[in-house]
Amino acid sequence: MIVAEIKPLEEIKEMVKDKKGVLLVGCNTCTAVCFSSGKRELELLQTQLDLSLENPKPAFWQVIVRRACEPEMVTEISDYTREVEAILCLSCGIGVQTLSDIFPKKQVFPALNTSFLGRPEKLGFWQEVCVACGDCILHLTGGICPLSRCAKGLLNGPCGGSHEGKCEVSPDIPCAWEEIFTRLKEKNQLNMIRKTKEPRKVIRKPRYLLREDIFEDEK
């Protein structure tokens, strides 16, 4: 899922301090799970702002939507558009953009930094495990993604910075390529990486997905 973290309070304070009414919008999907956009964090942020902004401070409202990225799911926000001058959106960047599109007259502020696509490994610990590269090779790498988990995103690792399972970047980061090597060796599948993989063939540009059989242009 999408992992995000709340921006430094200073930054958020700077965004909303001169506004009259601010609607805090939480998103109850991915980023709520990583403690960034659920009711708990929304209330905490409002308390933080309430206690630290100087008068005259904005009036705050709160709404939690199920998925801020879906236009149909954020309609509830319209109930507040009369009162609020700005929307402080606790969601990933996708939700922020949906709200910006739907409420063009309001200022929509991102309260989160969208970090990565990851999974919860332990309580309070999330790990990046996918970069949405568009060309999955997990079947060739023992189910471990080198693009997200190797600091250099190498297709043919490990590099010389890998030693005893650790990455040169930090001893906290395991070397993905050594993990791949170990996993494939256990499976007796080292031949999967014995040949050098060719450079990636994905073209980097704004991407979209269009399903011809489903898509309908509303015109």
Give me the residues that bind another protein (CB under 8 A), please.
Answer: 8-10, 13, 28-29, 32-33, 35, 38-41, 43-44, 47-48, 51-52, 120, 122-123, 151-165, 167-169, 177-178, 181-182, 185, 190, 193-199
* Choice between 129 and 193, CB closer to another protein: 193
Write down the H helix ranges in 124-172. Answer: 146-149
Q: Cβ of residue 194: shortest distance to another protein, in angstroms?
A: 7
User: What's the distance, Cα to Cα, between the start and end of the chain in Å?
Assistant: 33
Q: Cβ of residue 20: shortest distance to another protein, in angstroms?
A: 21
Q: Cβ of residue 197: shortest distance to another protein, in angstroms?
A: 8
* Choice between 105 and 195, CB closer to another protein: 195
Report CA 86 to chain centroid distance, whole Å.
22
Cis amide leading into 110 (omega within 30): no
Three-state secondary-structure class, residue 50: helix
**Torsion sign, CA atoms 17, 19, 20, 24:** negative
- Which H or E run includes 142? none
Q: Cβ of residue 13: shortest distance to another protein, in angstroms?
A: 8
* Choice between 39 and 187, CB closer to another protein: 39
